[in-house]
């Protein structure tokens, strides 16, 4: 089968777009030119687990416009499909690539994170890119599991008032992906992208694994080493769901929707 850029295929259900970093940036550029509003997700192993356990997240993922793989496990799994991915595109790295490429011709906005963390990240980005003028942000209070409608309405208003072209959602999965699809029909921004804890990484509030470890796909091990109490439980759940999904797939048992 001929592979076309941006074609979607599925890895244990979750949709993945066939593209590399350069092509993903071209997608962002095209969105800025056409003024269309498009959603961009960055699925990893946690996303795959959520897709198979959370119907609302699954629906949001099924309707995403561009889905670029953040997790190395999913890149490896793609090798067993008709669409072996060229590379892993981490959400944290892609946010920086977007700002680097479009900082002089686009405006940015962040939904989520914490004000103090975003301010630290802005300072770092201004040091790296002198022409970067900054970004606006809105940090909703903590809601579990999802934002109530009145908060969603505030997010829509803040985004439209900002007149931003690119909006990064830093709320963590599944909250950020579900919120993106909820606001998408009501905002004028061109790119709505999930990015988790990216701005904590950018500002150095949370330390990222050394580049060599990133390239080896062992960031998960680094996270366990630096945050064992939180990450062991989190990764154990993901692994449990993943192996359950694999086992059911081998038996031909389809996921219930």
Query: Distance (Å, rounded) from C-alpha 253 to C-alpha 257?
Result: 13
Mind spelling out the 3-state secondary structure of 181-198?
HHHHHHCCCCEEEECCCH
Query: Residues 94-133: pLDDT tens digits?
Result: 999 999 999 989 999 999 999 999 999 999 999 999 889 8
Helix (H) / strand (E) containing 48? helix 45-51
Query: Distance (Å, rounded) from C-alpha 189 to C-alpha 196?
Result: 19
Q: Residue 26: pLDDT above 60? A: yes
- The sign of the CA dihedral 76, 77, 81, 85 is negative
Whole-model pTM: value is: 0.92
Q: Residue 137: pLDDT above 80? A: yes
Share of the chain above pLDDT 90, in %: 70
Query: Residues 217-256: pLDDT tens digits?
Result: 778 778 887 888 887 888 788 788 878 887 777 676 666 5
Q: Residue 144: pLDDT above 90? A: no
pLDDT of residue 234: 80
pLDDT of residue 192: 98
pLDDT averaged over the chain?
91
Query: Residues 218-227: pLDDT tens digits?
Result: 787 788 878 8
pLDDT of residue 9: 94
Query: Residues 154-209: pLDDT tens digits?
Result: 999 999 999 999 999 999 999 999 999 999 999 999 999 999 999 999 999 988 87
Q: Where are the domains of the chain?
A: 8-211, 213-251
């Amino acid at each position: 089968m001929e592979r076309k850029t941006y074609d979607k295929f599925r890895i244990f259900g979750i949709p993945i777009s066939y593209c590399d970093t350069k092509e993903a940036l071209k997608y962002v550029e095209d969105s800025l030119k056409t003024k269309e509003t498009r959603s961009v997700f960055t699925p990893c192993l946690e996303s795959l687990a959520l897709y198979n356990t959370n119907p609302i997240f699954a629906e949001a993922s099924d309707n995403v416009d561009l889905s670029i793989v953040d997790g190395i496990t999913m890149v490896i799994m793609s090798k067993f499909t008709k669409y072996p991915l060229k590379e892993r595109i981490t959400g944290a790295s892609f946010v920086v690539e977007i700002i680097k490429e479009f900082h002089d011709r686009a405006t940015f906005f962040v939904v989520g994170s914490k004000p103090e963390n975003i301010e630290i990240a802005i300072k770092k980005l201004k040091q790296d890119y002198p022409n970067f003028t900054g970004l606006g942000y809105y940090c909703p209070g903590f809601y579990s599991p999802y934002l109530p409608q009145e908060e969603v309405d505030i997010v829509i208003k803040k985004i439209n008032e900002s007149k931003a072209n690119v909006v990064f959602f830093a709320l963590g999965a599944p909250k950020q992906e579900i919120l993106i699809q909820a606001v998408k029909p009501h905002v004028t921004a061109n790119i709505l992208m999930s990015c988790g804890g990216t701005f904590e990484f950018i500002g150095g509030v949370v330390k990222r694994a050394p580049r060599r470890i990133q390239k080896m796909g062992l960031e998960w091990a680094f996270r366990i080493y630096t945050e064992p109490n939180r990450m062991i439980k989190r990764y154990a759940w993901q692994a449990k769901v993943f192996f359950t999904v694999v086992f059911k797939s081998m038996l031909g048992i389809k996921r219930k929707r």
